[in-house]
Structure 1
Amino acid sequence: MSKKILAAALLPTAAFAQSLTIPVNPTMVVTATRVAQPVSSVLAPVNVVTRDEIDRLQAQTVTDVVKTLPGVEVVNNGGRGQLSSLRVRGGASSQTLVLVDGVRSASLTAGITELNNLPLNQVERIEYIRGPRATIYGSDAIGGVINIITRPDKGTNQHKFNVGAGSHQQRQASLSSASQVGEAGQLKIAGGFDDESGYNVHPIAGVNDGDRHGHRGYNAMLDYQQALDSRWDLFATARWFRNVAQYDSSSAASSWGPATHQRNETWTENQSYLLGSRYHDERLLSELRGAFAKQDAYDYPDSRGLDQADARTYTRQYSANWVNSFKLNEVWTLGGGADWQRDMLDDRSRSYGSLYPADAKERDNTGLYALAQFDNQGWQAELSGRSDDNEQFGRHNTWQTGAGWRFVEDYRLSARYGTGFRAPTFNDLYYPGSGNPDLTPEESKSSELMLDGQTAGLAWRVTGYRNDITQMIQWGPNSQGMWRPQNVGKVRIDGVELEGEFDIGWLSHRVAAEYKQPKDRNSDKQQPLIARQGVKWVAQAQWQRLDGSVSWIYQGERYGDAANTVELGGYSLWHLAVGYQLTPALKASGKINNLLDKHYQTAVGYPADERAYYLTLDYAL
């Protein structure tokens, strides 16, 4: 991770970093306000993962990268291609907004982003900010925002080809080519495929013995940027990926009936297109962009095939965004803009033969926001507000404020307060047979206190936070005894995060620890699938022709159910990756996931993968 970002510290590490210095070139981020700014000016915990760091981790998926970040827990229902959800600061997976190049990527029906399905070979860097950002982005940005950026920096000339193989008969190949076009153009082309036979992600003794649940994926991308002059830019992106994955739908014998054996398959294809223009000078930035995304998804027994799928959804999303920032003077910056989005569910969509109701077909959302920032080195402050008008649930307003005080050089104390919300999804409202069209948005109120600084080469941060979420959409019986989604949930999450980054020789270290209490305020129970304690350590190295990484992730005990009757033990995972530069253009790498072959579960009944091995060859020009 870049040393100018973050963060919070595990203070005992300070003794090892006495002779180190922090680099002076600022790390820039765009996710906090949708306009590029130095990390040091952001009044919230921010992390940035670069492409070089992703390569040293030898990550196989976006999930592999994100799960090393502070405050993130990942719940996997199996391996590659299976359902994978992330929880930030103890919140639900739908309460973290995931963007791809600043554009929403969540499913319109389920409301979550399948990180395992996003092509990692297209990623240039990942920006991650914690805390509410609803005043900037609207719905879903309650726990934080993850922005997956695929566009290369201007002037990049780099061409990579990668092939690999690994456990579960895994094989993959990818290419990524970024090059200048003339004096003012930048082109990126990327593509790839991966395939693996998988393992039995949901074993039921005597029922599905010997089953494997594999995955096959393809992806392609084309991105172009053109500078019309020193102030005007045009950019466009086309992206496509298709994923096919098997999962288990078997059941053991019970009082409800005999055991059944069934292996299902999901087939998902995504297309997205983005066109935009940006004007920028010394004081003003104005960006206008339009985007279109479509997803076709099928779910069926693998013995029947795609054409006979009883469950299929066809979603379309149109969006337009206008972002502005004006530097009023040396200390004041003003910003604001407008967002419009139309979500559409094709009338051919159905769930196991049942059509979605007519009301589910379409909804529009229009959002207006404004932002003011103050920074005179010693003091920082921000105030923002937003109003969203949605066709289905009406108008929803959010606001946020924060202030920071640099009481000593390199030391800052800051505080923030903000509100957020999550809009009901199409499935929440209209899922055939169980949707509830009377749902209203979930709401949150968040407060945070942070102390960060740099001490003897150690960049550190300590953050305490409280997040109150009300009107959470949870399943429960209505007055007629029918189970359906309702606005009945109420959760309070209190937590403390400590982070630190430092170098020792040619080893770069990033450490984080957290403690939180995610309580259901109706039942006084701990939120399911969320651990109270967690510790993470990532060390990366670059020495002559060798590079690599060691990572350790510890998550404490959790409960597998809302009643807190099913316990899931804590787990401690080690991952090791090593690369060697054979020639200036050719590199050989190897990775061992789950080095100590730890047996554990992040979801009840879905054991995680055992020790796995991967080998890759990279050719770069």
Structure 2
Amino acid sequence: MPLPQTEVAAVVVEAPRLPPLAGEAVFSARQIDLADLARAPRLDAALKTVPGVSLFRRTGSDGANPTIQGISLRSIAPSGAGRALVTLNGTPVNDPFGGWVIWSSLPVEGLSGVKIVRGAGAGAYGAGALTGVIALEERRLGQGQSSISAGMGSFGWKRLAGVGGGDGLTLVAAVESSDGYRPVRGPSAGRVDTPTKFNSASISGQIDANLGSARAAIRLGGYEERRGAGLLGANSEAKGADLAFTLAEIDERSGWRLQAWVKKSDLSNGSVAVAVGRALATPAADQYSTPALGYGFNAALQGRGEVWSWEAGVDARLATGRAFERFRFQNGVFTRGRESGGETAIGGIYLDLSRSSGPLLLAGGVRLDEWRQEGAVRIERDLATGVLTLDNPARDNSGTTPTGRLGVRWSFREDAWLRAATYVGFRPPTLNELHRPFRVGNDVTEANPALTPETLYGGEFGIGGSGFGDWSLTIFQNRIKDPVTNVTVGVGPRTFPIAGFIPAGGALRMRQNAGEIEASGVEAELRRSYGAVRLDLAGAYTRARVDGGGTIPQLTGKRPAQAPRLTITGGLNWEASPRLTLSTNARYESDRFEDDLNTRILPASVGVDVRAEWRLGERASVYAAVENVADTDIVVGQTGDGVSSFAAPRSFRLGLSLR
């Protein structure tokens, strides 16, 4: 029997943001709406329904170390720092020290939607948007729009999240915990292999108000998470806070926006060396504090006409941070201490134009950025005596980088269009890449303060329409110049300068600007409804190859690490009755390589999730979900001695939502 309809007065709370220019339609974009977000267990899981979107590894944020939670698009060359810019209400979310994203700080309940723009982002997006932009928009609550959700499931998983407020105030809070799963399972597992336990909490508050004819918003948020890496003694803790202020005035023909933000973060991260047979784990490094501060501003002026529209702006981002560590574990104690870090600054100006004339839409933009890397510190001391063992400062570095984009879209029918675009974007290295070495098991990766920005040159051609559902097909060609790559320098057992001893089964890598990466591919998407059933199909094929040139010839012809050729996603959502909704999502990924030399293969994987939701009333529902329903062994990593680690096995969740 149909549920009774209850009339609720609509209260619209407008965000202080400029509307997108019409020219945005010439570039490749995908929208994830509120309903799709609500069905996902985590934000990164919702993003992975889009082909080519992935964290550095296949591991979800429920089991991944914070330092490998950077996100990239199009499988061109995934990186722990991420090669996509993530923004929330227009301000950067990426960590000021490492570029990764703490996904637990962004509960899906607090978001109204996500826009994914593929291809290098010039214009207002600027630095960091090398392979694209993931723009998150936060919910603004009207009166009576609060909600709460609670869930529990396998491996001791528990979660509670709520959104409340009204009349311009929005509060979002979430807590989550899990006993975790064991990444290394089966005959390879040893005494050192432990569950990926996880605890997190986040809270944010936002106030929207009118200041004369302008609209203002102030947002304050904070988060903390603790997790185990799946190895005895390897644990991490991340915490941070952010503050943003936005002021904007918008009318039918013009508008302006001022925005300032500050983001503070800290990370502690322990790593261990694993003995042969995995019976013993010895502390390798204790990164006990990584205080970092990022801050910046942006200003924009916009004009919109029937034919021409434009936006001009200026922005700046600055970051400073240090990593404090203890390492070289001997006779039961750490014997060395390290301080590393520095400062980075980026400032730019941009101009975007678009022209709409009947079925033809033209758009273009230019941008000029100046970047600086300075104040480098790399000091190591003997902890017992305080004697300085290494003082390795680096010269300051700076440069100017012009970027831009140009596109055209032709609606040759009311329900079909053609488009073409070309673009240039760049990503400066993070403080983490420049200054901090790290260790995973027996593998060590050295920092490189001489790194320079990566630059992407690309073009694409697309066709799409809405006559047979919403569909699109895009062919793209991209080239990344000077990509930051973890390049293998040697293997253990051996002692290396600066890095020290690398044990058997381990490898020493160093971050380097490794030549170029050529990537070409095709993307296809279809969304179609058949009555109460909605079908989503999408696929992406990327052929990526490294050209190491004369400096790193051993990488020439290799596929970038962690870059699969083919990704296919599918989703089915069936409103079986006014009360019951059934949905399923599947993701196939072809094989990928663990390392830059393409010696460790991670096999192809398939993951299928299912979910059933039952509406108890107009404002309440319960759900049951199964992730990895076939209990597939999805390989996410492989050590130098051939031990594989896996993503989460089959897991169950039950939950309740009140709206």
The bucket for the TM-score relative to the shorter chain is: 0.7 to 0.9
Structure 1 position 320 matched with structure 2 position 308: no
State whether structure 2 residue 236 is matched by structure 1 residue 266: yes
Deviation at 1:448, TM superposition (A): 0.5
Q: How many residues align?
A: 558
Matches within 5 A, 1:191-590: 191-203=173-185, 205=188, 207-208=190-191, 211-229=194-212, 231-249=213-231, 262-300=232-270, 310-327=287-304, 329-346=305-322, 349-350=324-325, 352=327, 354-357=337-340, 360-392=341-373, 393-431=398-436, 434-456=446-468, 458-476=469-487, 484-522=510-548, 523-542=556-575, 543-590=577-624
Q: Could you tell me whether the CA contact under 8 Å between 2:309 and 2:353 is conserved in 1?
A: yes
Q: CA deviation at 1:588?
A: 1.0
TM-score normalised by length of structure 2: 0.80
Partners of 1:178 and 1:53 in 2: how far apart?
23
Deviation at 1:49, TM superposition (A): 1.4
Aligned residue type for 1:613:
F
Contact 1:444–1:470, Cα closer than 8 Å, also in 2 = yes
Q: Give the aligned partner of residue 169 of structure 2.
A: 187
What is the Cα deviation at residue 412 of structure 1?
1.4
- Kindly indicate whether the alpha-carbon contact (under 8 Å) linking 1:529 and 1:603 is maintained by their aligned counterparts in 2: no
Partner of 2:43: 62
- Alpha-carbon contact 1:101-1:151 (below 8 Å) kept: no
Q: Look up the match of 2:379.
A: none
Give the CA deviation at 1:558: 2.2
Q: Could you tell me which of 135, 138, 149 is aligned with 1:147?
A: 135
Residue 351 (structure 1) shift: 6.2
Aligned partners of 1:513 and 1:282: how far apart in 2?
A: 39
State the structure with bigger RCO (CA 8 A, min sep 6), 1 or 2.
Answer: 1
Which stretches of structure 1, 4 residues or more, deviate above 6 A after TM superposition? 477-482
Separation of aligned partners in 2, 1:206 and 1:616: 33
Out of 59, 80, 87, the residue aligned to residue 72 of structure 2 is 87
Question: For 1:466, what is the secondary structure of its paired residue?
Answer: strand
Q: Which residue of 1 aligns with 2:277?
A: none
* SS of 2:44 mapped into structure 1: helix
Amino acid at match of 1:436: N
Structure 1 gaps, min length 5: 1-29, 181-185, 250-261, 303-307
- In structure 1, C-alpha distance between the alignment counterparts of 2:616 and 2:32, rounded to whole Å: 26
Aligned residue in 2 for 1:172 = 159
When residues 115 and 429 of structure 1 are mapped into structure 2, their CA distance, relative to the original with a 3 A threshold, is same
Q: Deviations over 1:4-55 (max 9, x none)?
A: xxxxxxxxxxxxxxxxxxxxxxxxxx9xxx8423889511121111222222
Q: Deviations over 1:495-536 (max 9, x none)?
A: 011111110011122211222201112321222222212211
CA contact (8 A) 1:130 1:144 kept: yes
What displacement does 1:217 show?
Answer: 0.5
CA distance in 2: counterparts of 1:541 and 1:319, whole angstroms: 45
The Cα of 1:538 is off from its aligned counterpart by 1.4
The residue type equivalent to 1:617 in the other structure is: L
Aligned residue runs from structure 1 range 10-29, under 5 A: none
C-alpha separation between the residues in 2 aligned to 1:283 and 1:390? Answer: 34
In 2, Cα distance between equivalents of 1:396 and 1:505: 51
Distance 1:561 1:537, change over 3 A: same
- Offset of residue 608 of structure 1: 1.1
Does the 8 Å contact 2:120/2:131 carry over to 1? yes
CA distance in 1, matches of 2:313, 2:325: 36
Matched residues in 2 for 1:489 and 1:418: separation?
20
**2:651 paired residue number:** 612
Shift of 1:481: 8.0
Rounded to whole Å, the distance in 2 between the matches of 1:135 and 1:584 is 43
Query: Is residue 2:35 matched to residue 1:52?
Result: yes
Instruction: State TM-score, norm by structure 1.
Output: 0.84
1:158 and 2:145 correspond: yes
Letter in structure 2 aligned against 1:95: R
Q: 1:315 touches 1:343 (CA, 8 Å); kept in 2?
A: yes
Q: Distance in 1 between matches of 2:98 and 2:401?
A: 21
Match of 1:592 in 2: 626
In structure 1, what residue type is equivalent to 2:254?
L
Whole-angstrom distance in 2 between the partners of 1:338 and 1:494: 32
Q: What letter matches 2:303 in structure 1?
A: F
Change (3 A) 1:79 1:399: closer
Distance, in Å, in 2 between the alignment partners of 1:587 and 1:151 is 20
Please tell me whether the aligned partners of residues 322 and 337 of structure 1 are also in contact (alpha carbons under 8 angstroms).
yes
Q: Which residues of structure 2 form unaligned runs of 5+?
A: 1-14, 273-284, 328-335, 374-397, 439-445, 491-495, 499-508, 549-555, 639-643
2-side partners of 1:530 and 1:389: how far apart? 30
